[in-house]
Amino acid sequence: MKIKTRDWILFAETFCAIILMEIVFRGFTLGFKPNGYLKTEICITALISLAVAGVFFFIRKLIPGKGGKIAHLVLMGVSTFMFAAQTVYYAIFETFFTTYSMLNSAQVIEFQDVIWANIWEEKLPILILFAICGISVRLMWKEKAEDENGQDAGKNKLIVLVMAAVICFVTSAGAFAISHREDENPTSPYQNLYTIGEIQGSVRCSGLMGAMGIDLWRLVFGFDPDIEEKQVFAEAKPDDNVISGLDLKALAEEEKDPVISSMHSYFGSIEPTEKNSKTGIFKGKNLIFITAESFTDFAVDPVHTPTLYKLQTEGYTFDNFYNPIWGVSTLDGEYVNLQGLVPKPGVWSMKESSSNYLPFTLGHRFGNLGYATKAYHNHSIYYYDRDLSHPNLGYEFKGQGREYSFEDTWPESDLEMMDKTVSDFLTPDENGEIQPFHVYYLTVSGHLNYNFYTNDMAIKNREAVQDMDLSENCKAYVAANIELDKAIELLIERLDEAGELENTVIAIAGDHYPYGLGAENISEFKGHDVDTAYEMYESTFLLWTPGMESEHTDKICSNMDILPTLSNMFGIEYDSRLFMGTDIFSDSEGFVLFKDKNWISEKGTRASLVGVDDEYVKAMDKKAMEMFNYSALVLEKDYYSYLKDYIE
């Protein structure tokens, strides 16, 4: 019995709808810029779209009558909603959400104003996507099926179902065969689909349907990154920043678990950094560390943000500091700032670390020295489950929803948070003494959207930026950061009044670049067309204490280097082999890693070195991959707990 023409037509219509949605989605998000693998990516996406169409067609024909039509409608509707939701998400965050994030997304309602604004901005692709879905469903619904007229041809149905199953198998196998050719290039389909990495790479290489399928598989069944046993161990010298008595080579030889043994071997192969001229220069001082929302170098201005400018010009200036964005925006930015590791793709790494042993965080290290360790946030402390993760970082964590209530604005005021919280750590005890303190702040005033009609902080400070020769979006960004500047100004005043200013270090770093500004806006600040591969992420790290001599360093560095750098400067015992970042002032090679495994080293960007020094590029690609792999394992295996006897 032959397969009827109407069945072929139904399958073709389903495939056309899916592939058209993939094309529209990619066109409005990642685009089709040639990258050496574009033809392969299109081929893989087409094959996966055929496989998905086969699944939809199979379900449609398996369920008789209107039930099959309804099932088809639901499948197409859910898929279209996914395409539309990911389009809006990308417009806000310049990445895609994972299944894990989707299952933990109830809190997203708090940002409904931002979401609705971006739905409006992305109305064209959304309308096109739903038009494709509507046409597909309409054509399917008009189909006259024999089983609705009581003429169900059982043999024909069986053949159709077998055909659909064969199409799924053959096209899936084809996509696997094409993508599974090993390739060390981090932009290749093999690296993005079969090794650890962010979902954005999977979307580029296999389309949204393929990427979400891979992500769901990994979430349900897990994913073991590639690891290898290191044979070469670095020798620790007496002046190295290592934990005394921690012999990783001996631990590797004794460990029965092969994964943990390989981790001991990997970290044991890392060359430790030496103590240097900056070791212990801040020892005994207080530390206030601020992760500032969307903070970057062009938030610093001598006229409009004079306090931030003071810190930048009178403190340490890091001329080649980068702040890459990761898959979970602010939360991953915090994770990098506070733990010096690469966030594990596909999950909320900070939340997942909530029950892990984290001995090297500043909260725990200062707490062990008898400091008061407190953390504050002016948005909900329950967002991203920070009420679980931040106490585990070693802080007494307070903010909106716990001991404090801030004015109902969006975003909330950093100045108000500072005004209400500084007395919590600057109030003398019964003996008139202030306990040494390490305080962590997570700010929110610099949050998108950058405009003068939905951003209350930009509106509040609008008059102060009217003289700037910038677009409205750029002015709004500066206006929002004026609130941060006022907060730091008040902090310095209160520290001075309490007699603690001279004994306090202030450190400020962003969580990510201001992705609420487009490339054209950032180009305004830069004064030229910005390079979106690398220059977009250039930023600043403010590190200042009163009376210090200003100093520049041109070493390539990033926010992954903050934790080991501060640990060294405060004379805190730590093991420089156990982080992915390194002490900026050490003699280690500068290295900046990005979420797509791209990188910058002291020899240049990965793009600029291709074909020039292939062996070096391969070595750095391997380094980048290992940073992803072993960071994920540190999180998954609670690795530091295996070293507990040596750390405490």
Q: Give the tens place of pLDDT for each residue, 360-404.
A: 999 999 999 999 999 999 999 999 999 999 999 999 999 999 999
Q: What is the pLDDT confidence band of residue 554, given thresholds at 50, 70 and 90?
A: very high
- Average pLDDT (251-262) is 95
Q: What is the pLDDT confidence band of residue 254, given thresholds at 50, 70 and 90?
A: very high
What pLDDT was estimated at residue 525?
97
Residue 78 pLDDT greater than 80, yes or no: yes
- Buried b / exposed e across 545-555, counting CB within 10 Å, b at 16+? beeeeeeeeeb
- Average pLDDT (322-338) is 96
- Average pLDDT (247-255) is 95
Q: Which CATH architecture has domain 278-591?
A: 3-Layer(aba) Sandwich (3.40)
Residue 487 pLDDT greater than 90, yes or no: yes
Q: Which two tokens stand for residue 462?
A: 């609008």
Per residue in 626-638, pLDDT tens? 999 999 999 999 9
- Average pLDDT (208-226) is 91
What pLDDT was estimated at residue 616?
92
Q: Where in the chain is the domain with CATH 3.40.720.10?
A: 278-591
Per residue in 497-510, pLDDT tens? 999 999 999 999 99
Q: What is the pLDDT confidence band of residue 445, given thresholds at 50, 70 and 90?
A: very high
Q: Spell out the long-range contacts of 278-283 with Cβ–Cβ below 8 A and sequence spacing 24 or more.
A: 278/568, 278/569, 278/583, 278/585, 279/241, 279/568, 279/569, 279/571, 280/568, 280/569, 280/570, 280/571, 281/569, 282/505, 282/545, 282/569, 282/570, 282/571, 283/570, 283/571
Closest CA to 288 of 444, 490, 438: 438
User: Residues 6 or more apart from 207 whose CB is under 8 A from it?
Assistant: 22, 25, 26, 44, 45, 48, 49
Average pLDDT, the chain: 93
Q: What is the pLDDT confidence band of residue 146, given thresholds at 50, 70 and 90?
A: very low
What pLDDT was estimated at residue 149?
45
Quick one: which H or E segment has residue 289?
strand 286-292
* Chain centroid to CA 580: 15
Q: Which two tokens stand for residue 522?
A: 């950032």
Residue 155 pLDDT greater than 80, yes or no: no
Give 373's Cβ-side CA count (13 Å radius). Answer: 17
Contact of 447 with 113, CB cutoff 8 Å: no
**From CA 648, how far away is CA 642, in angstroms rounded?**
12
Residue 9 pLDDT greater than 80, yes or no: yes
What pLDDT was estimated at residue 109?
61
Lowest average pLDDT, out of 136-150, 292-306, 564-578, goes to 136-150
**From CA 407, how far away is CA 417, in angstroms rounded?**
10
- Average pLDDT (72-99) is 94
**From CA 7, how far away is CA 140, in angstroms rounded?**
10
Residue 34 pLDDT greater than 70, yes or no: yes
Residue 519 pLDDT greater than 50, yes or no: yes
Q: Please state, as a whole number, how many other Cβ atoms lie within 10 Å of the Cβ of residue 462.
A: 16
Q: Which two tokens stand for residue 62?
A: 């398996």
What pLDDT was estimated at residue 147?
45
**From CA 472, how far away is CA 462, in angstroms rounded?**
10
For residue 108, give the 3-state DSSP assignment. helix
For residue 601, give the 3-state DSSP assignment. strand
What pLDDT was estimated at residue 154?
61
- Average pLDDT (324-328) is 95
Residue 46 pLDDT greater than 60, yes or no: yes
What pLDDT was estimated at residue 298?
95
Lowest average pLDDT, out of 34-38, 107-111, 315-319, 467-471, goes to 107-111
Q: Please state, as a whole number, how many other Cβ atoms lie within 10 Å of the Cβ of residue 454.
A: 16
- Average pLDDT (167-173) is 95
User: What angle do the packed helices 5-28 and 154-179 form, to 10 degrees?
Assistant: 30
pTM for the model: 0.94
Q: What is the pLDDT confidence band of residue 110, given thresholds at 50, 70 and 90?
A: low
**From CA 350, how far away is CA 104, in angstroms rounded?**
14
Residue 309 pLDDT greater than 60, yes or no: yes
Q: Among the ranges 13-22, 54-63, 181-190, which has the highest mean pLDDT value?
A: 13-22
Residue 106 pLDDT greater than 80, yes or no: no
Q: Which residues pair with 600 in a beta bridge?
A: 592, 605
Number of H helices, E strands in the chain: 25, 14
What pLDDT was estimated at residue 150?
44
Q: Which two tokens stand for residue 95?
A: 């990445």
Residue 229 pLDDT greater than 90, yes or no: no
